[in-house]
Structure 1
Amino acid sequence: METSFRQNISSGTPWEPVVGYCRAVRVGNLIEVAGTTAMDGEQLVGKDDAYEQTRFILQKIAATLEQAGGSLTDVVRTRMFVTDISRWEEIGRAHGEVFKDIRPAATMVEVSALIDPQLLIEIEVTAVLSPVIEPD
């Protein structure tokens, strides 16, 4: 019988234990990455620039996936929450630069607000690791 394990990956932010979440969770070969924004500590990356925020977020997600034993090539789903859907081309361009060959299922929806009014986008992803097949 295969045993699943759970790995919580923390970003180390002070609000994770207060709110009760972590940056990502890996259970078996599934990795779920929580909503990720363009905040770098207390600093916003890409103020008023949806493309730059998206690019930075995807870099943060890539680093998180690596901590969990995965990579962007394992991503099967992205969910993008944007505060202004009319900026979809900027966001889509950054997403496409990363995922053009991977092509996960993707959703982009407009929301009324994110936790900070300067945030233009928040992204979460699901990744599935392929099983390692040992040679005979």
Structure 2
Amino acid sequence: MFSNARVHGDHVFLSGMHAGSPEGVVGGDDAYLQAQEVFRRLSALVEACGGCLDDLLTLRVYLTDMTDRSAVGRARAEAFTGDFPCSTMVEVSALVDEGLRVEVEAQGILGSATGG
């Protein structure tokens, strides 16, 4: 078993999120659409922890094809309204389910987006 999110004090830790679902991959084979879903899921998780997406300070982005970099970057730019989080992006040979192109894991400090 694992946790999708953990809070320790005002720190939030989010497991890697991807666009997989029981019905298939949200966004199909489109890395941009998958990334949009990933950022929606990260936002929902951090909100459930009492924060907002802009409270996330670091991202680790895993791509199965580095040529998807600009598409994922565009989705990230649309998702964040404040300062962009520090990010690391790496290419991996595979993710947990076939068809997934992007996975993002994150950490942040709840309330940091508002100067908390």
Q: TM-score with structure 1 length normalisation?
A: 0.77
Aligned residues: 114
Question: Please, which of 85, 92, 115 is the counterpart of residue 111 of structure 1?
Answer: 92
Aligned pairs (5 A) from 1:82-93 = 82-93=63-74
- CA-based RMSD: 1.9
Q: CA deviation at 1:76?
A: 0.4
Tell me, yes or no, if structure 1 residue 58 matches structure 2 residue 39: yes
Q: CA deviation at 1:127?
A: 1.3
The match for 1:43 is 24
The match for 1:3 is none
Q: Which runs of 5+ in 2 are unaligned?
A: none
Q: What residue identity is the alignment partner of 1:92?
A: G
Counterpart secondary structure, 1:60: helix
Q: Which runs of 5+ in 1 are unaligned?
A: 1-19
The match for 2:53 is 72
Higher RCO (C-alpha 8 Å, min separation 6): 2
Q: What residue identity is the alignment partner of 2:69?
A: W
Q: Which runs of 4+ in 1 moved over 4 A?
A: none
Percentage identity across paired residues of the two chains:
35
